[in-house]
Amino acid sequence: MSVSALIRRGTPQPCRPVPRHLLAPEDFARLPVALLEEPGVALLSMWAEPGFVHVALLEEASATLLLASSPAEGGRYPALSPARPGAVRFERMIRDLWGLQAEGAADLRPWLDHGRWPLTAPLSARPLRNQVPAEQPVFLPVEGEGWHQIPVGPVHAGVIESGHFRFTVQGELVVRLEQRLGYNHKGTLGLMLGKSPRTAARFAARLSGDSTVAHSLAFAEAAEAATATTPPPRAIWLRAAMLELERIANHLGDWGAVCNDASFAWPQARCGLLREGLLRANFEAFGHRLMMDRVTPGGVAAEPMPSGIAAILAALAAVEAELPALAAVYDSHASLQDRVVGTGVVTAALAAGFAAGGVVGRASGRGFDARLAFPNGPYAGGPPRLALREEGDVDARLRVRAAEIPESIRLVRRILATLPPGEIYAPLPQQGGEGLALVEGFRGEIVTWMALDDGGLIRAVFPRDPSWLQWPLLEAAMQDNIVADFPLCNKSFNCSYSGVDL
């Protein structure tokens, strides 16, 4: 039986834009085998509620979303990680937060819970007081001779997020890299529960600061889907402009940072100057450099200032004028090319197996972009041209970013030139419902699911950052590379720590 047929055997639950099917445990147990037989069905996300586990899948060829749930009888459910390796960290997270265990899982070590929380399984129906002393983290064993380990983090040089990396090396060659995250856990899901979407939107905007627009938009669209609310057209177009401005700023930052980690500081200085000009224009237009809290459920918080629109167009013109020179400098320095070409390769098979989105996926041949698969607003009338590479190395990831910048500039100009008139906000009704949203942030697609109770308050929510499915690929990319290449590989991915630590 196909995956879609198996899921549709379940009882449909009202959810927009597609129903969520409640499967009997025995049918959910058949999912791993069905997934093994259909590699074209991607795992998008997994999460839970007390007593239930949920999964979001995507039939890639038809861009069809599939949502499935199952009761976790006795606190257990069949693991999907034997069929989809991207499920591993979701299953570890579900065990930490909800106390539900995946039977037959590939890995059940703690993920978010480092043994220092006052309660275990804090989002379960009955959290228990933690009375066990915290233990040292367990890393995967390594067999053979002549290897040693290098621990890095969780505290790093510079102002970056905290995360631990354990390198197993032979000489300078990396045999294995393993990550340990969770140091930025903030209890965000618990903080959102019982609040209105408008109040909880501030938490979504702070899940990962460099993706504040993308996470806010996915959260808002999930709330709007749950309540069958359609924002005004002007708000939809302003949101798209902000989303593309966020993409340009982050791609510029990453372009410069990759070059800097190869000891070539000039591109970082130039990219930093261009990015700063764009952020100042954002502030003049929207009142915040990162446009935080400007996207709200129902629309946007305020109209952009006319002088700010002019400042944005001027900043975009400055970026566009310098892109050819930046590309020429990047291409012409042999020492830089030597560091990035062939370094940190992610194969097409791995990118497809983990359903990696964004730059990481598109640099390895996986041509998925939520703006193309599920277009709305300005994307429906003029979608971006897809930047796709096959090499899967640091160079390919940088070139995908560089190709996306002029596309986003083109989109912002068209959006600002054709903004529909009218209102910018539509209030959400205080009612129950359930919704799912996909938004293409600069890292890839964000998948946010939300369920509201009859009073319109959040009963359950799960925002899935793209980094959930990209962090494991960084581990794979570092194999057979040297330790000194880790900053290059890490920055070429630029995964979010905070976005997965929730």
Report the pLDDT value the prediction gives residue 144, as an integer from 0 to 100.
Answer: 81
Q: Global pTM? A: 0.97
At 446, list the tokens.
């964000």
Q: What distance in Å separates the CA atoms of residue 476 and residue 260, rounded to the nearest whole number?
A: 23
Q: Report the C-alpha gap between 472 and 469 in whole angstroms.
A: 7
* Best CA proximity match to 250, nearest among 354, 405, 111, 92: 405
Q: Which domains does the chain have, with CATH numbers?
A: 3-127 (3.30.460.80), 188-501 (1.10.645.10)
3-state SS string over 288-344? CCCCCCCEECCEECCCCCHHHHHHHHHHHHHHHHHHHHHHHHHHHCHHHHHHHCCCC
In angstroms, the Cα distances linking 473 to 15, 179, 226, 346, 347 are: 32, 11, 33, 7, 9
For residue 246, the one-letter residue type is E
Is residue 417 packed enough to be buried (19+ CB in 10 Å), middle (13-18) or exposed (0-12)? exposed
- How far is the C-alpha of 351 from the C-alpha of 374, rounded, in Å? 21
Q: What does DSSP assign to residue 207?
A: S
Sign of CA dihedral 464, 466, 467, 469: positive
Rounded-to-integer distance, Cα 214 and Cα 375, Å: 15
Per-residue model confidence (pLDDT) at position 87: 98
Dist CA 13 CA 1 (whole Å):
21
pLDDT at 451: 98
Contact 99, 91 (CB under 8 A): no
d(CA 245, CA 303): 16
| SS3 sequence of 441-465 | CCCCEEEEEEEECCCCCEEEEEEEC
Chunked in runs of 10, what are the mean pLDDT values of the chain (502 residues)?
95 97 97 96 98 97 97 96 97 97 94 93 94 86 86 85 94 93 94 98 97 98 98 98 98 97 95 98 98 98 96 98 97 96 97 97 97 94 92 98 98 97 97 98 98 97 98 97 95 96 92
CA angle at residue 216 from 214 to 217, to 5 degrees? 65
* SS3 of residue 414 by DSSP: helix
Q: What pLDDT, on a 0 to 100 scale, did the predictor assign at position 363? A: 98
Alpha-carbon span 398 to 498, nearest angstrom: 23
Per-residue confidence (pLDDT) for residue 28, from 0 to 100? 97
For residues 21 and 43, what is the distance between their CA atoms, to the nearest angstrom? 16
Separation between Cα atoms, residue 203 and residue 97, nearest integer Å: 18
Q: Which of 387, 405, 250 is nearest to 319 (CA)?
A: 405
- Sheet containing 148-152: which strands, arranged edge to edge? 148-152, 164-170, 173-180
Tokens of 453: 């109770």
The phi, psi pair for 299, rounded to 5°, reads 160, -135
Tokens for 363?
A: 């640099």
490 and 474 Cβ atoms separated by less than 8 Å: yes
User: How long, in residues, is the chain?
Assistant: 502
User: Cα(24)–Cα(382) distance, rounded to whole angstroms?
Assistant: 42
Q: Which residues contact 157 (CB under 8 A, 6 or more apart)?
A: none
Question: What are the two backbone dihedrals, phi and then psi, of residue 375, each rounded to the nearest 5 degrees?
Answer: -70, 145
Q: How far apart are the first and last CA of the chain?
A: 36
